[in-house]
Amino acid sequence: MSWFVLIVSGALEAVWATALGRSEGFSRLIPTVVFAVALTLSMGGLAYAMRELPTGTCYAVWVGIGAALTVGYAMVTGAESASLIKVLLVLGIVACVIGLKVLEPS
């Protein structure tokens, strides 16, 4: 269950990071509210996962998922340029996150 919560929390990190960028310095209400809610849920999930999983692994997975989804979303929407090397590097982050899960003792 902790791994599932951690993955969802990582996805919520991408949500709050994107909403933060769209809030224009907290001057737009909807993105600011989305930011606050997603941040709270993301941090809560991270804290929950850290009760059973090592802190370093949790943090690396949380940040890796959030970073990969944030940049992936930005490339898909055109907010950030896409290139083969960028896609390969993001896939490298994903591979590392998967590796941390695979190497985690049962």
pLDDT value of position 32:
98
Q: Which domain holds residue 98?
A: 2-103
pTM of the predicted model as reported, rounded to 2 decimal places: 0.90
pLDDT value of position 68:
96
The tally of domains found in the chain comes to 1
pLDDT value of position 102:
87
How far is residue 48's CA from residue 54's CA, in Å, rounded to a whole number?
11
Q: What is the pLDDT of residues 41-71, one digit of tens each?
A: 999 999 999 999 999 999 999 999 999 999 9
Could you say which residues of the chain have pLDDT below 50? Answer: none
Q: Chain-wide mean pLDDT for the chain?
A: 95
